[in-house]
Chains A and B, each alone.
Chain A
């Protein structure tokens, strides 16, 4: 008889494991490079701990995996008889989960690093920021890179070359706006405006609010583009 079926959860589960498999390579290589750098250059040479070091590899990884999402996973699942909607939900859930899992991995490795050879962990959010906040802000930032890649892949798959022009612009704008909202330099125009007129925690709310709005907008755009998209043979 018919099996119990929630294809969107199945897709999410499958995608998390496939992508974690790829990520295992990336994280291992980043770790080896980091250990090498720390060994040869010392803590002064590379700055502020594994946690900050892994941020960019995570972002690049998410961008690339995001670009592959529609051409590779959507096509794969629709060919197995899964609806575009279930793929979409599954992919969104898996990328959100992946963002959190990545940060958990970073926290664990950083914890081990602190036990073996303590270093000052400094992120763009400052030295004295709560770990909870760092955790969620980093996860959100990584997720946004996935969304940017996802947008590019979806735009290309749906509209071809012209789609790429627009979706890359959209993705760049998304990443640029995120940088603006979360910039560590605190001297970007937006931050200056915010810090003059608002107390610090209000700017945090704005940063979170702005990020969710931008991320939501990007994900909505991806959903619109892929909702009825033709799957190539």
Chain B
């Protein structure tokens, strides 16, 4: 079975509002994707479409060449975890995991138990009595231990504290190496997660701004740091974002690929050329998106 997920001109409308508009993209089997977007960009709507929570208003979503929605063979291959309050669910963690096990064909019970130990989750606590952090942990464990060919984590990390998040990222990398599968992680914690992503999809106002391999995306820009005057001279005519000044030192993000000659000039000026962060690119690109739309 070919487990690429293909979205073709997908639009999802609520009332008169397009939450997702004409999105076409392909999630290739086995890759880790970062889905980035500002609040209200349509990330959760897009992901809940992949999980068959609802149907696209227009367009198609296919896996293995077949429409995903209500296809029993395909739906069980997809696990979508998101921040849930489990308010209505008084099952104990153990019982809930047994239910997950019953309906997820690739669920690994031993791995789940290992994760429960590592994350220190209590098996006996009813779901609606778990703390916010522990609910996030439970979601992470369900996502990881289900070992579904398509695993979607929708901002489940925001309830976790920093050490727990680190542990989760580490588990994602480890388990993905052992059991390669498509993982989609949506986030606004771009700066701490960027190293996880093989490809990045940026959504803005319901539309897809870009889908690129993370390294190529980062090649789009550089940071130029050095004496303020030198930097100012160097960036003339270049497209810049995010200037920071500290004393006589200035650091500017340039959103352009530098030529070899430009790099040589920079070195001669005593300027330091470094990589630009995904976070900064994201901020810049979504601002620019806004700007373009206004025009």
Complex interface bits, B83-116 against A, C-beta within 8 A gives 1, otherwise 0? 0100011000000000110111110000000000
Question: If the complex has contacts A84-B70, A233-B44, are A14 and B75 also in contact, measured as CB distance less than 8 A?
Answer: no
**A83–B72 CB distance below 8 A:** yes
Interface centre among B44, B75, B106 (most CB of A within 10 A): B75
Within 8 A of A (CB), among B60-76: 69-72, 75-76
With A5-B105, A230-B54 in contact, do A81 and B76 touch (Cβ < 8 Å)? yes
Secondary structure dominating the interface of B: loop
Contact partner of A228 (CB less than 8 A), chosen from B48, B70, B79, B102, is B70
Residues of chain A touching chain B, judged by Cβ–Cβ distance below 8 Å, are 2-3, 5, 7, 10, 14, 72, 76-86, 227-228, 230-233
CB <8 Å contact, A233 and B53:
yes
Q: Is there an interface contact between A7 and B53, defined as CB atoms closer than 8 Å? A: no
Say whether A230 contacts B103, CB under 8 Å.
no
- Contact B103–A81 (Cβ < 8 Å): yes
The complex places the Cα of A5 from the Cα of B77 at a distance, in Å, of 13
A10 touches B102 (CB 8 A): yes
**Please, what's the 1-or-0 string for B4-43, where 1 marks a CB less than 8 Å from any CB in chain A?**
0000000000000000000000000000000000000000
Give the residue among A3, A76, A84 with the most B Cβ atoms within 10 A.
A3
Residue of A nearest to B73 (CB): A5
Interface: B269 (CB within 8 A): no
CB-based nearest B residue for A85: B70
A14 to B98, CA, bound (A): 11
The complex places the Cα of A71 from the Cα of B284 at a distance, in Å, of: 42
A14 to B105, CA, bound (A): 17
* CB–CB A80/B99 < 8 A: yes
- Given that A5-B76, A228-B70 are contacting pairs, would A80 and B104 also be in contact in the complex, using a CB cutoff of 8 Å? yes
Question: Any chain A CB within 8 A of the CB of B200?
Answer: no
Confirm or deny: B82 has a beta carbon within 8 angstroms of a beta carbon on chain A. yes
Q: Can you name 8 extra interface pairs (CB under 8 A) apart from A81-B77, A85-B72?
A: A2-B106, A3-B105, A5-B105, A7-B72, A76-B89, A79-B80, A231-B54, A232-B53
Q: Is B78 part of the binding interface, using a Cβ–Cβ cutoff of 8 Å?
A: yes
Is the CB of B55 closer than 8 A to any CB of chain A? yes
Q: Tell me, rounded to whole Å, the shortest Cβ–Cβ distance linking B72 to chain A.
A: 5
| Distance A79 CA – B79 CA, assembled complex (angstroms) | 8
Q: Nearest chain B CB to A89's CB is how many angstroms away?
A: 11
> 21 A–B contact pairs at CB < 8 A?
A2-B105, A2-B106, A3-B105, A5-B105, A7-B76, A10-B103, A72-B88, A78-B52, A79-B80, A80-B103, A80-B104, A81-B78, A81-B103, A81-B148, A82-B76, A83-B71, A83-B72, A85-B70, A228-B55, A233-B48, A233-B53
User: Is B102 a contact partner of A81 (Cβ separation < 8 A)?
Assistant: no
What's the nearest-Cβ distance from chain A to residue B210, in Å?
26
Q: Which chain B residue has the least Cβ–Cβ distance from A82?
A: B103
